[in-house]
Structures are given as C-alpha cells and as structure tokens.
Amino acid sequence: MQLTQLTHLLATTCHDDLGRVVTKRKKGTAMTSNTIRAAIIDHPADVGYAVTSWGERARTRIPASSTSGPFVLMDYYAPAGFGPPRHIHRADDEFFIVQSGTIAVWSETESHVAKPGDVVILPKRIAHAWRSYGEDEVHLHVIVSPGDFECFFREIEKSGLAITDVGKLSAIAELAEIDIIGPPLSDADMATILNAAQHSMPEKRSPVSPESPDFWDRLREA
C-alpha cells in the first residue's frame, strides 16, 4: 500500500481490538452522548492484543466508544530494553500505571525512574520518552485522554510494518496526533536518569557510566 493510500485510509476511521470501526474526531470537537451508558466489566484475557513486529503488545480494555470520548484504557507490554523515540502527544494526556518491570522516564522538564506501583503522568504537548531496563518485559496500564492514540498499535499490526518503515510509522503517528522529535533514550541517557535518581536517595551511591562493566546490573538495582 502506498503512503498516500495509507494516510487516506486512516484519516477518518480505524478499528478497535474487537474489529469495531472507530470514527476519528475532527480537531476541536469532543465526542458527546445523550444516552445512558451501560456499566463495563472487562476481564483479563490473553487474546485481542495488537502485536508489533518488534514485540510491543497492546489491547484496548476500555475504548473511547464506551466512555463517549473522555479516555481510553489500554493493557500494554514491551520487551526488555525497549523504548519509543522521543515524541509529543498533541491531543492526549498520557498516564502509566506500572504493573511490572522498571522504566526510565525522560521529559523536557524532568526525568524519573518508575517501578511497579508507580503512576506516571505525561501531559500533552510535553516532549517525552521512556525505556525499560532489566531482564523482564514491562507491563503498563495506559490511560490516554481523550484517546486519539487508541488505534495506533492496531494500525501498525494491520499494515505489517517493521521498525525500519519510518515513513509509514510516522504517518500513523501523525494521525494519532503524535510528533516524533528524536531518537529513543540511549545508554548515556539512561545513566544520566539513574544518577539523578540515586542522587535523590538518602543513601547515595557512586555515579554509574555506560562504560562501567556493571552498568546494567546497576540499572536493575536503581
């Protein structure tokens, strides 16, 4: 499929994890409903995940169609060592509830280390990125509001894209109101975030460097 065809296809609709058509909002409009909505119970499941060729897995648990647009709740997994490129959500506020694994979180204002039980808030229009570390995959509950991000992983899977298909990935990101602004976090970035986190601890440790033989062991201990 040509890039222009892909862009036209995604411009108005996409599909959620149950195959339902999701109509994308026009900019400056909100999804509203005058009907009474039913209560929702979504049970844990091992099926229904959108899976990228590089190992991310995401399943929409509460779609925008069930909330009249205020938010979307997603179940998300990433392989050990993975991190997305630096980016900005133009429309969505993003919230992570860390279920398992550990991530280093960078933003243009500050950086942190987040572990199981932690909640991360990434406001729209703030540049950010994160990267997992340790030997285990990362499991996050992700909330995006109002939810333009909902179809991002499903459309990547449907298009059969590889991580090297930068142009087509950027087109899907653009339609999810995401601007890609830089590369993923490097080992040096990870060391900087870790050293800052250690500096804030009551019991200080010696600085860590990407060249240190125990670099990844030190990251796991952070």
Write out pLDDT tens, residues 88-114: 999 999 999 999 999 999 999 999 999
pTM comes to 0.77
- Quick check: is 35 in a domain? no
Instruction: Say yes or no: 159 and 60 in one domain.
Output: yes
Instruction: Say yes or no: 169 and 91 in one domain.
Output: yes
Domain span at 105: 15-25+55-182
Q: What would the DSSP string read from start to end of 176-191? A: TTEEEEEPPPPHHHHH
Instruction: Say yes or no: 66 and 155 in one domain.
Output: yes
Decide if pLDDT at 24 tops 60.
no
Encode burial over 10-22: b for 16+ CB neighbours within 10 A, e otherwise. Answer: beeebebbeeeeb
Instruction: Say yes or no: 213 and 117 in one domain.
Output: no
Q: In this predicted model, which residue has the larger pLDDT, 6 or 91?
A: 91
CATH of the domain at 72: 2.60.120.10
Instruction: Say yes or no: 112 and 208 in one domain.
Output: no
Instruction: Say yes or no: 76 and 169 in one domain.
Output: yes
Instruction: Say yes or no: 210 and 172 in one domain.
Output: no
